Structure 1
């Protein structure tokens, strides 16, 4: 009897919570809500955004009609508030080492080549490469090819013990790009080794590289694991391979990371730019059915 009563109370509690999250049915609200869900914005965040829309409509001296324009303006304003960048997106001028970490297959090496080319050709900085990605077949060769094209030196390190010699060989460089192996971030030995590689001298910053084709559930686990390190910025790749960008909203909301660059293709050095939050919000809110 007591067990049944407890179950009934739990069921009523869940029902009450569910009802609290329900947004009153309105065509404009439903349209924008569906648009956000299709963009894979977290459903709970969508409910919060829509709840705020209703509050704003009712808080006015005269209740505002829930037109699509009103709902869009409210949601856009809310997204802008918590997606505002907190600092410099680009590689800082005082950074001597830029580390790139992330899971395998996200395009770290190609991204490094793009950013290195920008530093060499646009900012005229003396650049060097260090790679510890000796586990993936042809990874070193790929970076060596880019190093040859850009006419920059490359150092290969097989363990953290090799770092001192690598830095000594690159002591005349203004900026060093370090490519790390995208091995299993759940492996404790890898975590320990990567942490040792990131403890390098001089001004440095660490970029977490994530692919927009990765499911947010996995992206969240990846970011949580790499948060063991000093993550300074997050960089997104493969924008050209997806029409869904809600994961960017979710990640900023959940981890508060500083955004940096976004890559939208394989062309070096062209297919990369600083992420523009306002343009990204517009892409998330635009009606893709009328393109």
Structure 2
């Protein structure tokens, strides 16, 4: 039995589709934890065991992990969280106890790059995510943290600006090259680990994409794919802070994002070398063709 948390999210929904294709042939049953089962397509609900509720709730994870061999773990967004510790380790604590109580063997979690870098202890959400990894690892389960850089898919939040003004923004230096990953590749990596549980112990699995790109590189590729000029504008951390606060996020979450973006500009994502094992296949150009271009043209 494989349990999937956040099955309607960007990563979880893709993971669930992969597992629905591949798990039956391996004799694997699937269970999902979801607040609103109505958000699952009817065809999906008919093929999985559904536990309704939040996977931060002790009673819910106690039911969901009964008989489970493996769990996909993702701490969901928490816009009004009073602290990053509450959003990550606090949210995960009931599940960590349930892993032990039910003898769950393997857990795959969504985390971030940065462990071992000089800025890892002051990187906001990333620092909190690494502490969550430690919490899970200390339960004794076999654990793999998917260590991810920035998601390519985050650019979909700026479709209107790209379409109407030919502009996308970020806080990093325009010429700083860094890895970026497509969420579909994160889901595929998670599926591989969940279906082949021959691994033991704890560790990280970096998912780095196939190349490092700067914001200027991305602007050039977007311009080519979209057939129109797209340029990058760097915004200040203060401007970034004000934009986040305008969306009603808690002070703790806003500060965490600011700290994370400052750390990224200081090399947070530079600590892992790309190898055939750490690279993932989707290029930024291919991602733009498949996801950004249709969104801009819609």
* TM superposition score normalised by structure 2: 0.39
Between 1 and 2, higher relative CO (CA 8 Å, sep ≥ 6) is seen in 1
Larger gyration radius, structure 1 or structure 2: 1
